[in-house]
Structures are given as C-alpha cells and as structure tokens.
Structure 1
C-alpha cells in the first residue's frame, strides 16, 4: 500500500507531489532541488553547493523513514549543463564514497526554478 512521506527537515513540495512515497519496501523521493528546508533557493550557488543541498534534502527525507544514503539503490541526476558534471560528481562522491548506488546523469533543457541540478533517489526501507 502506498504511503506518502513528509518532513520539515527538507523543503516542502512546491507543487502537486509528495516529498517521497513508499510501499514499505521501496522509497522513492521526488526530485530535490537546491532548496533549503526554509525554502531558500540556492540558484546562484556553485553546482557543487547546489549538489550538496540536493543530497542533504534526499538524506533528510530518507531519515524520516529511518533510512540513510547507504540504502539508496539508484539516483537520477538532472543537470542544466553537462559541462558541470565534474564539479557535481566530485561533491556527489563525498556523499556516496563506498558502494555508491546506480546512477543516471543527464543534461536537460531546464531544471525547475532556474536551478542547475535536481536529484531523485530510490532506496530500500527494510
């Protein structure tokens, strides 16, 4: 059975979606922008700083279900400029330094709200 997840430790949803959903075995986050939990958009920050905020948001959502980044099976990363890949990847590697999850990283025409990056994750909850 599907259940939605919400935490004040990550930014509130800015549309008709949940921060995450789970069926008790898998947890799927919505794409996380570089928004602070207070709703400040870090769109003028470096791609590295934006990556860090996105992953902190993912981690906060996982923590709401007693999960962590170690439980992530797959991430999908949307970059507005693939030339930012190296800077993104350096910061991303600090969060997933051992046994990193599977990952897709693609350039898209635009990321919502003018951000440089958006990251979503799929994790196990058992």
Structure 2
C-alpha cells in the first residue's frame, strides 16, 4: 500500500507527479530543483546555492511524513555542467552529514536549473543507526 506525501511548503508545479510517495518502509521523493517554494523562482546563480535549496525542498517534503534528511539512504542527482561537480559536492556535504547516503550523480541538460535531486528515505531508522 502506498501513501502520497505532499507539503504546501514545498514547491508545487502544474506537472503530473507526486512530491513524494511512501511505499512500505520507504519514501520516494520526486526530483526537486533549487527554487523558492513560494515563488518557484530559481534561488541563486550558482550550483552551490541551488543544491542547498534543492535539498531544503526535499527536507520539507520528508518532514510532511515525519522524516528528516537523516532518513535518506539514496540520492540521485542530475547536474547540468561537469565543471560544477566540485562545487555541488561541497554544498551537498554541508547539508548531508556522514555517514552519507548512497549516491549517483549524472551530468545532464536540465534547462535553467543547475541541479535536480531525487531521494529515497528509509522510514524506520536514520543513517548510522544500528
């Protein structure tokens, strides 16, 4: 059985997808971008700023189901420019703490966004807990 996860504090787009879905012991968060939730305008001009905002948007969606970023076990990130990977990694590390989630990062063209991130969270424990 699955349950839709939705937060009015997270960005909403007129597109056919759910912000998140809880399926059993996991929450799957759709790809988020670095936009202000109220205005849907891109936050900042750098991958660092957009990465932090993107992860904050994911955090908001998880909070709607009582979870935190510490519950995230897998991240898939789509980064627009290869040269942005070092800066993306630095910003990612300021938001996520060790032990880090497993991760795939792929270079793709995603329009005016510098990064898009999707996440999978495990409901019953946080990373690093036994």
TM-score range, shorter chain: over 0.9
**Post-superposition CA distance 1:34-93 (Å, at most 9, x none):** 111113321652110000110000100111111111100000000111210011110100
Partner Cα separation in structure 2 for residue 68 and residue 58 of structure 1:
9
Partner Cα separation in structure 2 for residue 43 and residue 7 of structure 1:
19
Q: How does 1:83-122 map to 2 (within 5 A)?
A: 83-108=83-108, 110-112=109-111, 114-122=112-120
Q: Which runs of 5+ in 1 are unaligned?
A: none
In the alignment, what sits opposite 2:128? none
Cα drift, residue 98 of structure 1 = 1.7
Q: Secondary structure at the match of 2:32?
A: coil
Tell me the TM-score normalised to structure 2 length: 0.89
In the alignment, what sits opposite 1:38? 38
| Number of residue-to-residue matches in the alignment | 124
| Moved beyond 4 Å, runs of 4+ | none
Partner Cα separation in structure 2 for residue 20 and residue 48 of structure 1:
24
Partner Cα separation in structure 2 for residue 2 and residue 51 of structure 1:
28
Partner Cα separation in structure 2 for residue 30 and residue 68 of structure 1:
16
Tell me the TM-score normalised to structure 1 length: 0.92
In the alignment, what sits opposite 1:75? 75
